[in-house]
Amino acid sequence: LTEAQAREQDYSVRADIVLFRNVGKAQVIGEIAGVAKIVSDAENGKILGVHIIGPHATDLIAEGTLAIKMGCTVKELAETIHAHPTLAEIMSETSFKALDRPLHCAG
């Protein structure tokens, strides 16, 4: 869902964004233009939507669709091991930011 769609469904919406430039692998390969956003329910952390624009977005979105399908929370996604260095760390970073515990970017 988008933020607007989640609000229409009466969710208490939280949206967290992390720029690709905050991920080491993106810096190494020189592909820092991009962003990932997780839309979640502010009350229970359930992931409602994931949006990715940037390098390999078509590959990276698979994790987001799985998280939504499985009913994952941002805490569960944050606790998932993400290999380093990989672009997939954008999902880890964004989920930690949703917990107010960003690893490599300003809160």
82 is catalytic: no
On the question of a cis peptide bond just before residue 102, with omega within 30 degrees of 0, the verdict is no
**Which residues lie below 8 Å from residue 55, measured CB to CB, with a gap of 6+?**
20, 26, 29, 31, 33, 34, 87
| Given 51, 56, 82, 84, the catalytic residue | 84
Is the distance from CB of 48 to CB of 64 less than 8 angstroms?
Answer: no
Positions annotated as catalytic residues are 84
